[in-house]
Amino acid sequence: MKSKVKTEQGTVLITGASTGIGYATAIYLDQMGYKVFACIRKEADKKKLQENSSDRLETIILDVTDNQSIMEAVAHIESDSGQLKGLVNNAGIGLGGALELTPQAEIEKVINVNIVGLLSVTKAFLPMLRESKGRIINIGSTASYLPGPGASVYSGTKFAVRAITDSLRVELHHFGIKAILVSPGATESAIWNKGESYRKELRSTCETELSNLYKALIQFGDSLYKDMKRTPAVEVAKSIHKALSLTKPKRYYIVGKDAKGAKKATRFPKSFLENIILKKIKKFDN
């Protein structure tokens, strides 16, 4: 039996709404009749959102790593309506690289945004979500099911997001709050351009001798990046809409062929999967 879509649309806050999944979700939910608070970090990101949405959509400056910024966002929504039906924790950093080549500052930045920021925002908005019996939608990743080499930091944070979601689902059940994980694969987003720039900068500053030790891994990663087919961000937005609106939503939404394939691959023994990857890396070891 199919779940029914709720007729009542509510207020939703989306972090990281300036580009990619966050932007697509803000526009899509606005079209579906939600009152959307689209969180951005820079004033310059307002224009595109406002030009492509209704007057209902409102932008808020929010840095998930800044507690003062978070509390100001809470105060703003409390003064506007005091209601929040859904929180979409989308803000995240997707930078990767071999651990030894990754600057310590970048490691801490990814952890602070992807884990600490998500927890801080969720905690701050829990009173409103408890009042509305709302939904928490956390954006995961294929990497939370099938981590690859050169992605230990990022994959670690996305495994954490999955664990946090599972824990909160039970912890908040008696309040009527549902916690749901939406895990997309490679998705069309400006994040890929940022990732490309990051890789070029990292290689230009890394010691040649150290970089050469990881040459095969780097070339393997480049080949994956080049051949990757990306799912339109609006497809992820549609899954987020289901997670928010269905009476009986799934616990997990896997979006994209690559993500679904990665989830299925987890059925195989780790040794089998690791040997496949190692053989592919070895082809570049010359």
Break the chain into its structural domains and give their ranges. Answer: 11-282
pLDDT at 199: 61
pLDDT tier, 53 (very low <50, low <70, confident <90, very high otherwise): very high
Q: Decide if pLDDT at 228 tops 90.
A: no
pLDDT tens digits, one per residue of 178-227: 999 999 988 887 665 565 665 666 666 676 778 888 888 888 888 877 77
Q: Decide if pLDDT at 108 tops 50.
A: yes
pLDDT at 205: 66
pLDDT at 4: 44
The average confidence (pLDDT) of the chain is 89
Which residue among the candidates 28, 34, 154, 252 is catalytic per the annotation? Answer: 154
pLDDT tier, 3 (very low <50, low <70, confident <90, very high otherwise): very low
Q: Decide if pLDDT at 1 tops 60.
A: no
- Distance, in Å, from the CA atom of 234 to the CA atom of 83, rounded to the nearest integer, reads 26
Once rounded to an integer, what is the mean pLDDT over residues 101-116? 94
Q: Which CATH superfamily is domain 11-282 in?
A: NAD(P)-binding Rossmann-like Domain (3.40.50.720)
Q: Decide if pLDDT at 230 tops 90.
A: no
pLDDT tier, 2 (very low <50, low <70, confident <90, very high otherwise): very low
pLDDT tens digits, one per residue of 149-178: 889 999 999 999 999 999 999 999 999 999
What is the share, in percent, of the chain residues with pLDDT greater than 70?
91
pLDDT tier, 60 (very low <50, low <70, confident <90, very high otherwise): very high
- Distance, in Å, from the CA atom of 137 to the CA atom of 180, rounded to the nearest integer, reads 5
- Distance, in Å, from the CA atom of 256 to the CA atom of 207, rounded to the nearest integer, reads 37
Once rounded to an integer, what is the mean pLDDT over residues 103-117? 95
- Distance, in Å, from the CA atom of 105 to the CA atom of 206, rounded to the nearest integer, reads 14
pLDDT at 201: 65
- Distance, in Å, from the CA atom of 271 to the CA atom of 133, rounded to the nearest integer, reads 43
Q: What is the CA radius of gyration of the chain?
A: 19
32: amino acid identity, one letter: M
252 in catalytic set: no
